[in-house]
Structure 1
Amino acid sequence: MNDRNAWQSAWTPPGPPDGQPAATAQALLGLAKALIGDAPVTEAELQLLQTVPACDDAAQLTALTQDIRAGQDPLGALFCRLFHATTRRPEGQTFTPEPVVRGMVNWALRQGRPVTRLVDPGAGSGRYTLAGLRAFPDAEAVAVEKDPLVALLLRANLAAAGLSHRATVLVGDYRELSLAPSAGPTLFIGNPPYVRHHDISPGWKTWYAYCLAHAGLKGSQLAGLHLHFFLKTRQLVAPGDFGVFVTAAEWMDVNYGQALRDMLTDGLGGTEIYGVAPELQVFEDAMVSAAITCFAPGPSTGGTPGTTHRPSGAAAAALPAPAPLRFQSIQAPEELLTLPPGREVARETARQERKWSMLLRGGRPPRQPGQMELGELFQVSRGQVTGLNRVWVHSSAAPALPEAYLVPAITDAADISTAPGQEIRSLDRLRRVVCLPRDPAPLPAAHRRAIDTFLEWAREQGAQDGYIARHRKPWWHVHLREPAPIVMTYMGRRPPAFALNAAGARLINVAHGLYPRQPLTDAQLRRLVQWLNANVSIEAGRVYAGGLTKFEPSEAMRILLPRDLLE
């Protein structure tokens, strides 16, 4: 296949013919209503169906049914075209391309297990449910979908495919699912929704923390929804079950992903981890790299939290060593269909490694004698999050403010990457960040009037409504940390750029600041900047879809450099 991304359009229908009206949500709902017929639905779905008549175009319904029976998903593709990605993203509604679904189902078939039940969390229009039921003719499916409209598309697909009698569609939250015991293995398969922690309610964050603690695991409430789904799956699986999920790959490296890495090495029973090359943008609606994670809990790693048992003494000595994990990088579209076996990594090695993308590359380069980590010299910290840069980075569109409240700062990565001689020598070229006092009352009257005018404008821009502003007291107080002597970019399609911050510029979250743990001379700082710009490789960071590479502070602190660089 010459076009590496051509496979992404496998389920994308063409637009309407010239002169024909564009499809609407009502038309989509009418198609689903006609296909579902008189089958029972939930109250939430019924309320939607009552708003439209069923489609009565027999030719259209026949063609639609033929496409669905041929393995296509015209309803799901039309839904994605009608509702823009920015509308679907807060709900995690990112649909999976057909080759990825087929490759994951093929992996499940290769396990040689007689699946009796299939569970599809966040089922969407049912791409995994239908493919799984076709692959395992003796299985029944439990498909969980929260959005009533999408659940109707799922029911319509099942009805058209003649599979409704083998599937139970549950309209609700997967985290509330309970399963009856099954007579045979259950296959968990799907694409758990990607929702960032900002859009997860405090109650569910508390649930996540409580369930992790109950399982003897540690975690962060910064975890996205896909980690919640992994945790729920750990609660549901029984020995003999197995599963395969596709998610964003960031959990392999970030701090909040440690909980999932721990689950896969103990409890959930990880077997294979596939990292998809950024060039193969699996999630066409989201600029994230993908990971396909396979798991199969064994008899000593039951899924119920708190039930993991570790024999000791002679019993432990008699047990075989835990099976290794396999790590494989997927570089070509055809590899998504086959998911070839990867390189074995001892489970204990995986447990100790905090950045699993290193295991995809063959392991972390060993630290050589005479080397040290950058973190031994510096604490690396991201710049201040403003919450809304277009408001808090001052511009001509904003009301004027006295200079006392406008702080020169690095507000663009280019401020660092284009710095002459790898050094920021002047504040004159930098933009200003609005830093208002917590209490304007003691200020001169003219200053208070200017601040009031600015804050009224900021409210009109929605500056007080964002996640950061709602958790900041008062919402307008942006506090910039003291200048860092070295600053670095952390996101780009090239290695990070470093610059000596001789002018003492402050920093927002477009870059990182390097704060020394010990006194360093100007000559040492310059030598470090020169060496870092010449030697840091892009491979040390985390690669996202589209080729963007990101260096989190923890990754930057693990950069290896020669110890004699300071001498």
Structure 2
Amino acid sequence: MPAVRDTTVGRTRGLTAGPTQRTSGSTPADPLNAPNALDLEPSATAQTLLALAKALIGDAVVTEAEQQLLQTVPACEDAAQLQALTKAIRRGDDPLGALFCRLFHATTRRPEGQTFTPAPVVQGMVNWALRQGRKVTRLVDPGAGSGRYTLAGLRAFPEAEAVAVEKDPLVALLLRANLAAADLSHRAAVLVGDYRELSLAPVDGPTLFIGNPPYVRHHDISPGWKTWYAYCLTHAGLKGSQLAGLHLHFFLKTRQLAVPGDFGVFVTAAEWMDVNYGQALRDMLANGLGGTEIHVVAPELQVFEDAMVSAAITCFSPEATQADAPLRFQSIQAPAELLTLPPGREIPRETARQERKWSVLLRGGRPARQPGQMELGELFQVSRGQVTGLNRVWVHGPGAPALPEAYLVPSITDASDISAAPGQEIGPLQTLRRVVCLPRDLAPLPAAHRRAIDTFLAWAQSQGAHEGYIARHRKPWWHVHLRDPAPIVMTYMGRRPPAFAFNAAGARLINVAHGLYPRQPMSEAQLRRLVQWLNANVSIEGGRVYAGGLTKFEPSEAMRILLPRDLLA
């Protein structure tokens, strides 16, 4: 496992926080945030940010990685600016975090999970913790960022100390600067490293885990940490997928650290409530981690400005695992509700354990199947189209080198191919774009074909087509294998219910759509009748709603669509 270099003691070790260690963390601005009161120069740079942090931190002890950064700049000597900065931080603003987000674009921060939380969400989560009526001895802020949760928590719980874990040395310096300006450094320990390596000494009283675990997709998680995740789940008697994002790793680590009497509240993307890899977290919340409340923010309230995802605020307490202790689910529809997190609808814990799609519980549970109804999955296996790894290369376009027609397969490459299909029917093939499908073994091909393919592959490599996650896990990297045509195809992402079409032309699919494969032979008339009924009757309610109003139907959700049993009679 990766280790953390602690230069204060000059040795490599895991993160350890005892009751007397101190530090803190926070998180920058979002669309729900009020504007920062302090305006920093538009020409400010990363050096400006470091100079301000260096001046605020003073001669405090920092890690070697942080010290290397501080040595690149002199401390800011503008007394007026430092005074205004300190005043803003003490007022609860986060101008340093806001400047960091301005200097480093979301596309740069996203692979590290650096999506900062807006102030109303932070305050609402702290308010929830206060309402629990517990005397907090210690705060733990994983992925602490610039320290927003840590500072808010220390202000709310004046007798608590904080452990803030932040992996990025630059952001850790902002965290230290915020603590110093707020005169809270003596109550906080900033640990520069990976939260998954943290160990906590016992304390006399509850620990509050609070924060925004970083959202990093599994593609950017090392194999070693994926192995750690799988091993720890197995050791806990849980099953899980290595496709889980980093936020699930943080929940699992919290389950390991928390003891009865502790409690916590995290904000994450809400997709774990429904997707397959989220089953491990659902099992944790229904069992050992002790889920108590889940507040799902309406898609219209986009919490994270640089991530098009709906947010879920998850509350937990390890002792809340009794079979008779219900879980509460609440939909947050207005910004004011973020500050109060009102109690939601009670759902029996056993119901939560049995339900694989928790967004259904948000609506009070799954509607009972009525007599005479059946699920679409009884008739069809629904499968997503093929992932190419880089559509701009593998969907043959005008800028790509020419290839023989034998390797260009007419396919559905855009949702509009289905939603705009005349008469709800795919055809003819000539109207569709082509996907490049090359054989695994190129050696037996005719020389002319091989020359054209070699030219194309050289161009594809220049576009990076061999370097992506999919290509690296495909043998060989150029072999895009398309499934047999599905007789019915459907869109799965949009601001409207999914569209269905009869695939009369026999087009193949890439991952812009799902294919419906019959479990038993069906006539063309039956397939067309089913397409008409689905387009007329499937509502947006059955999907998963993302920030911005996009609704997604995973294959499992599509297979739960209810339809009349006699529809195909």
The answer, yes or no, to whether TM exceeds 0.5 is: yes
Pick from 244, 262, 278: which aligns with 1:257? 278
1:13 and 1:78 in contact (8 A); partners too: no
| Deviation (angstroms), 1:21 | 5.5
- Residue from 190, 211, 222 that aligns with 2:232: 211
The separation in 2 between residues aligned to 1:62 and 1:540, in whole angstroms, is: 53
Equivalent residue letter for 1:373: E
State the match for 1:314 in structure 2. Answer: none
Q: For the residues of structure 2 that align with 1:46 and 1:13, how far apart are their CA atoms? A: 29
CA contact (8 A) 1:512 1:553 kept: yes
State the match for 1:387 in structure 2: 389
How far residue 340 of structure 1 moved from its aligned partner, in angstroms, is 0.3
Q: State the match for 2:14 in structure 1.
A: none
Identity of aligned pairs, percent?
87
Equivalent position SS for 1:47 = helix
User: What's the counterpart of residue 34 of structure 2?
Assistant: 10
Kindly provide the CA deviation profile for residues 239-259 of structure 1, in whole angstroms up to 9, marking residues without a partner as x.
000000000000000010000
Could you tell me which amino acid in structure 1 is paired with residue 408 of structure 2?
A: L
Aligned to 2:48: 27
Q: Which amino acid aligns with 1:199?
A: D
C-alpha deviation, 1:425, in angstroms: 2.5
Aligned 8 A contact 2:31 2:304 in 1:
no
Aligned partner of 2:208 among 179, 183, 187: 187
Aligned length: 541
Distance 1:559 1:12, change over 3 A: farther
Q: Secondary structure at the match of 1:297?
A: coil
Q: Does 1:563 align with 2:565?
A: yes
Match of 1:240 in 2: 261
Q: Give runs of aligned pairs for residues 147-546 of structure 1, distance below 5 A.
A: 147-298=168-319, 321-546=323-548
Secondary structure of the corresponding residue to residue 555 of structure 1: helix
Give the whole-Å Cα distance in 2 for the aligned partners of 1:447 and 1:323.
67
**d(CA) in 2 for partners of 1:130, 1:6:** 17
Aligned residue identity for 2:389 = G
Partner of residue 75, structure 1: 96
Runs of 4+ in structure 1 over 3 Å off: 11-16
Which residue is equivalent to 1:141? Answer: 162
User: 1:366-420: per-residue Cα shift (whole Å, max 9, x none)?
Assistant: 1111111100000000000000000000011000000000000000000000001
Q: By how many angstroms is 1:439 displaced?
A: 1.4
Q: Distance in 2 between matches of 1:94 and 1:77?
A: 11
Give 1:91's match in structure 2, choosing from 112, 116, 122.
112
- Which TM-score applies when normalising by structure 1? 0.94
- Residues 158-203 of structure 1, C-alpha deviations (whole Å, 9 max, x = no match): 0000000000000000000000001000000000000000000000
Q: Quick one: distance in 2 between partners of 1:458 and 1:104?
A: 48
Q: CA deviation at 1:322?
A: 2.7
- Closer/same/farther in 2, CA of residues 516 and 12 from structure 1, 3 Å limit: farther
Distance across 2 between alignment mates of 1:502 and 1:321: 51
Residue 501 of structure 1 aligns with an amino acid whose one-letter code is N
* 2:314 alignment partner, SS class: strand
Quote the Cα distance in structure 2 between the aligned partners of 1:221 and 1:275.
25
Aligned letter for 1:268? L
CA contact 2:409–2:437 (8 Å) conserved in 1: yes
Aligned partner of 1:548: which letter?
Answer: L
What is the rounded CA distance, in whole Å, between the counterparts of 1:21 and 1:121 in structure 2? Answer: 31
Q: CA RMSD in A?
A: 1.3
Residue 543 of structure 1: how far off its partner (Å): 0.2
Q: Secondary structure at the match of 1:547?
A: coil
Match for 2:268: what amino acid? Answer: T
| Contact residue 208 and residue 264 of structure 2 kept, 8 A | yes
In 2, the alpha carbon distance for the partners of 1:255 and 1:21 equals 44
**Cα 1:11–1:129 shift into 2, 3 Å:** farther
Alpha-carbon distance between aligned partners in 2 of 1:371 and 1:477, rounded to the nearest angstrom = 42
Q: Partner of 1:446: helix, strand, or coil?
A: helix
In 2, the alpha carbon distance for the partners of 1:560 and 1:21 equals: 55
Q: Is the 8 A contact 1:11 1:98 kept in 2?
A: no
Counterparts of 2:87 and 2:184, CA distance in 1? 14
Q: Is the 8 A contact 1:116 1:183 kept in 2?
A: yes
| 1:52 match | 73
**Equivalent AA in structure 1 for residue 357 of structure 2:** K
Letter aligned with residue 496 of structure 1? P
Distance in 1 of aligned mates of 2:404 and 2:550? 38
Report the Cα distance in structure 2 between the residues aligned to 1:445 and 1:434, rounded to whole angstroms: 18
Q: Partner letter of residue 304 of structure 2?
A: F
Secondary structure (helix, strand or coil) at the match of 2:283 reads helix
2:551 is the alignment partner of 1:549: yes
Q: Deviations over 1:426-457 (max 9, x none)?
A: 10110000001111111111100000000000
* Cα distance in 2 for residues equivalent to 1:171 and 1:343: 40
Q: How far apart in 1 are the matches of 2:396 and 2:37?
A: 44
Conserved? CA contact 2:207–2:262, under 8 Å: yes
Distance 1:497 1:192 in 2: 35
Once the two structures are superposed, what CA deviation does each residue of 1:469-491 show, in whole Å capped at 9, x if it has no partner? 00001100101000000000000
- Aligned counterparts of 1:78 and 1:515: Cα–Cα separation in 2: 51
Cα distance, 1:7 vs. partner? 5.9
Q: Which amino acid aligns with 2:450?
A: R
Residue pair 2:269, 2:309 contacting (<8 A) in 1 also: yes
Q: 1:265 to 1:54 in 2, by over 3 A?
A: same
Give the whole-Å Cα distance in 2 for the aligned partners of 1:48 and 1:322: 53
Counterpart in 2 of 1:43?
Answer: 64
In structure 2, C-alpha distance between the alignment counterparts of 1:14 and 1:105, rounded to whole Å: 24
> Does the 8 Å CA contact 1:12/1:78 hold for their aligned counterparts?
no
Aligned partner letter, 1:233: T
Distance 1:321 1:99 in 2: 33
Q: Distance in 1 between matches of 2:261 and 2:151?
A: 22
Instruction: Confirm or deny: 8 A CA contact 2:414 2:512 kept in the other structure.
Output: yes
- Aligned to 2:342, the other structure's residue is in SS state coil
Give the SS at the match of 1:524: helix
Answer yes or no: is the 8 Å Cα contact 2:260–2:318 preserved in 1: yes
Could you tell me which of 104, 115, 120 is aligned with 2:125? Answer: 104
